[in-house]
Amino acid sequence: EAIYRPGAFGRKPAVPTDFTDLERAAIRRMSKRAVAYLAGGAGNSATVDNNRRALDRWAIVPRMLRDTSQRSLRTELFGRVLPAPVLVAPVGAGALVHRKADVHIGAAAAALGIPYIFSNQGSAPMEQTAAEMDRVAAKNGGVSAPRWFQLYYSTDEALVYSLIGRAEAIGAEALVVTLDTTQLGWRPQDLNIGSLPFSQAVGIDQYTSDPRFAEMVDEHLAAAKRSGERPKTEVTLGGLRTLLAMSRNMPGKFLRNLVSPIPRAAVETFLATYSRPSLNWQDVTALRTRTKLPILVKGIQHPDDARKAVDLGIDGIVVSNHGGRQVDGGIGAADALVDVVGAVGDRTKIVFDSGIRGGADIFKALSLGADAVAIGRPHMYGLALAGRRGVQEVLENFVAELDLTLGLSGFNSPAELSPEALQRIR
Ligand code: FNR
């Protein structure tokens, strides 16, 4: 109602309320690099398409005359009551889209009480985003929305533990370990414009501001010096353009980056430590001795992996294919969700993402057995178009449409949903 009422008096929203127009408008607004990185998928984007197809193969079968006047979307997750079964997914290098990406997203999530999963590759240090969320919560006279921390398990364990320690210190309430990105997927859109590695390492202050990362860069420079190698300061035209884009409104930073060998060393250090193809179950379960936070694993798509995670004492599963950005030609995430729910749905908490584009999609994922969903690209498009306001509107619209879909389909709460609310389209 709060969304409809202003419309009745001719007020237009800051961002389009449907995904197609939202994406189209955001793409028009963003830089070429941002579009390639954000909108792009792995390979030929078959997994991105499969994510949509998997959701579209289910149709909602509304029920009538069941009194849906007393609806509530409230959902409990890891000891917190959330206003809706919705989270903000971790998205790295957001500075490509907006200078204050993480801080704006955190503020929008905090205003709505929606949990925000901070990316390991976030563009702002988590302390800064957390402080902004606290500020917004205090202004509204409430408790801050939950913040979770998403970890990429790099090859440097001291860095991993440093990040976990920082997450605990800012009051993170869960640790999400992403398993599907032990190496970056095949990303033609980025490769074709020579953008990815450089822009990522420049735009991920979460990682590069870590005290352990600074040590690693020093070690890298010292090793280069010992071997008599002069630190390279070669800057390509593409690299220059990226530096300029990333330093917009920050001329000081741009100049420092230009004359210092450290950015180059930072990029090399990042590239040398970020990938960890050797990652295995033992590494992940060993995290149990390092933190008391609930641990979720993100990127599970096979029922056997889901069973194994639960058997090993992992606290929750994020069924996700990283928005189709890692393996091309992969299973649609909603198809994976059906299998994972069949295997462990009654034994663990399941969060779902990849392909959610509106309230009806959330309804479907919940009906298929997810406890909550995470939103990826859509809120970033809101950010591109209207900053914090844009993120907040996108999240509000998703929740409002979910609420309406629930009511118009004959249900009062997410707990009432089951596959019986859907029909499989053949
Ligand atoms: C991501 N995703 C992601 N996941 C993660 O665990 N850590 C990260 O740093 C990132 N970074 C990232 C950047 C960008 C630009 C995108 C689009 C996605 C994946 C994200 O958390 C989520 O799984 C997907 O975005 C969900 O799919 P949709 O909603 O974008 O289709």
Indicate which CATH number applies to the domain containing 303: 3.20.20.70
Residue matched to tokens 């849906």: 68
User: For the segment 360-390, what is each residue's pLDDT rounded down to a tens digit?
Assistant: 999 999 999 999 999 999 999 999 999 999 9
Query: What does DSSP assign to residue 299?
Result: E
The predicted pLDDT at position 53 comes to: 98
* Pair 234, 282 in one domain: no
Mutate to test the pocket of ligand 1, among 19, 27, 47, 91 (most ligand atoms within 8 A of CB): 91
Q: Which of 226, 247, 274 is the last residue of a domain?
A: 274
* Pair 77, 208 in one domain: no
Mean pLDDT of 201-223: 87
* Pair 359, 283 in one domain: yes
Q: How many domains does the chain have?
A: 2
* Pair 39, 114 in one domain: yes
Q: Which of 226, 246, 274 is the last residue of a domain?
A: 274
User: Comparing C-alpha atoms, which of 140, 126, 132, 142 is closest to residue 104?
Assistant: 132
Q: Which atom of ligand 1 is nearest to the CA of 176?
A: 6
Strand partners, 289: none
Around ligand 1, the residues with Cβ closer than 6 Å are 37-38, 89-92, 119-121, 150, 178, 298, 320, 322-323, 325, 353-356, 375-377
Q: How far apart are CA 258 and CA 276, in angstroms?
A: 30
ipTM above 0.90, yes or no: yes
* Pair 46, 167 in one domain: yes
* Pair 181, 238 in one domain: no
Q: Which of 274, 303, 334 is the last residue of a domain?
A: 274
* Pair 268, 286 in one domain: no
CA of 117 to the centre of ligand 1 (A): 11
User: For the segment 22-71, what is each residue's pLDDT rounded down to a tens digit?
Assistant: 999 999 999 998 999 999 999 999 999 999 999 999 999 999 999 999 99
Q: Which atom of ligand 1 is nearest to the CA of 318?
A: 23
Residues marked active site are found at: 322
* Pair 117, 207 in one domain: no
* Pair 77, 165 in one domain: yes
* Pair 416, 318 in one domain: yes
Range of the domain at 255: 193-274
* Pair 55, 147 in one domain: yes
* Pair 230, 338 in one domain: no
User: For the segment 131-149, what is each residue's pLDDT rounded down to a tens digit?
Assistant: 999 999 999 998 899 999 9
Residue matched to tokens 């989270």: 87
Helix axes 333-344, 359-367, angle to 10 degrees: 30
Phi-psi region of 372 (alpha: psi -120 to 50; beta: other; left: phi over 0): beta
